[in-house]
Amino acid sequence: MSSPVLVEATRGGRVESRHRGSVAIVDGDGARVFALGAVSDPVFPRSACKAMQALPLVESGAADAYGFGDAELALACASHNGEPEHVALAGRMLQVAGLQAEALECGAHWSFDQPTLIGQARSLDRPTALHNNCSGKHAGFLCAACHSGMEPRGYVAYGHPLQAEIRSAMEDLTGTLIDADRCGIDGCSIPTYAVPLDRLAHGFARMATGIGLGRLRAEASRRLIAACMAEPFYVAGTKRACTTLMRLAPGRIFVKTGAEGVFCAAIPEKGLGIALKCEDGATRAAEAMVAAVLARCLRDDPALEAALLAEANRTMRNWNGTAVGEIRVSDALTQA
């Protein structure tokens, strides 16, 4: 099934570029509340499912044993900017487990955030694995493995017992088979599994509601979602969409992006999970889509709806600050 145009970029009053996408909103029982496009097609959630991947950290008791609070759990679910606070906290998480940065197997990269990159360029010869946007997730993996008595080395491999635990949790949450046939390798070297978009949304509805989950998993899920909502800076960083959107309604919206135009989200008070994918992988479009979808779910709070729509539809300015066009979402996302 093909995907409809959901976001347009305009210039001089004309549409300059178009982004297609698919969106699924699902409740805790698995019922589709809203669907647009190819919602049964498998999609790699990439970093959008980091909260699912962090479940062993909590369920194993590692998070409690190491004294992790909301900030550490949020960072374990994060794709962060590599700002100094992110880098320092990832280092501290490793330290309490008796590990060094060298244990991280995610690889190193400069920040994707321009102001952070400029700061890094002025203070570092080169970035380390602690600066990788996934360093918090990897620190969480290492803490879970160490606390559970697993050999930490090779924790990124498909065959490592930690990755097997993650597969099991994802199968439980999404109700789909998670195996080698659905596996790709992510940017930070861990396995990523293609899951139908509506099953991914169902998984996040379950994490937010606990419906159909065992007590331990329901509690761990709610704790991770709550930690991200309580510490949105540690999920992404300055001026990032996940951080901005969660700050608009503290404790009411969970939202997490993934590479190639994916977003997963949950609205606990509505019992809803959301998953969306921009066909072409564009971040600018996926950000507009998720803001518009959150707005449609929260129409009963007109001030919040307006604030979310202001994130979805925005003016583009050039280097001189002149308004040159708009990013705008289609009626299909906002209406009926």
Q: Please report, as ranges, the residues that interact with its own copies according to CB under 8 A.
A: 9, 11-14, 16-20, 42-44, 105-110, 114, 117-118, 121-122, 132, 182-189, 192, 194, 260-261, 278-282, 285, 318-322, 324-325
Distance CA 68, CA 60 (A): 13
- Minimum separation from the CB atom of position 226 to its own copies (A): 30
**193 pairs with which residues across the strands?**
183
Report the alpha-carbon distance of residue 336 to residue 236 in Å, rounded: 31
**What is the C-alpha separation between 248 and 233, in angstroms, rounded?**
12
Q: How far is the CB of 131 from its own copies (least distance, A)?
A: 11
Q: Provide the minimum distance between the beta carbon of 18 and its own copies in the complex, in angstroms, as a whole number.
A: 5
Nearer to its own copies, 120 or 209 (CB): 120
Shortest distance (Å) from residue 216 CB to its own copies: 31
Which residue, 208 or 286, is less far from its own copies as judged by CB? 286
What whole-number distance in Å separates Cα of residue 304 and Cα of residue 20?
25
171 sits in which H/E element: helix 161-174
Alpha-carbon distance of 297 to 194, in angstroms, equals 26
Q: Using the minimum distance from each CB to its own copies, give the nearer residue, 34 or 158.
A: 158
Minimum Å gap between C-beta 21 and its own copies is 10
**Nearer to its own copies (CB atom), residue 44 or residue 68:** 44
Q: With respect to its own copies, which residue has the nearer C-beta, 175 or 281?
A: 281
Q: Residue 326 CB, nearest distance to its own copies (Å)?
A: 12
Strand stretches in the chain, DSSP E = 5-11, 14-27, 32-36, 42-43, 183-185, 191-193, 195-196, 254-258, 262-267, 272-278, 314-317, 323-329
CB nearer its own copies, residue 88 or residue 124: 124
Nearer to its own copies, 9 or 62 (CB): 9
Least Å distance, CB 278 to its own copies, is: 8
Instruction: Please give the Cα distance from 168 to 166 (Å, whole number).
Output: 5
**Region for residue 175 given its phi and psi (left: phi exceeds 0; alpha: psi -120 to 50; beta: otherwise):** left
Rg of the chain (C-alpha set): 19
**Size of the chain, expressed as the number of residues it contains:** 336
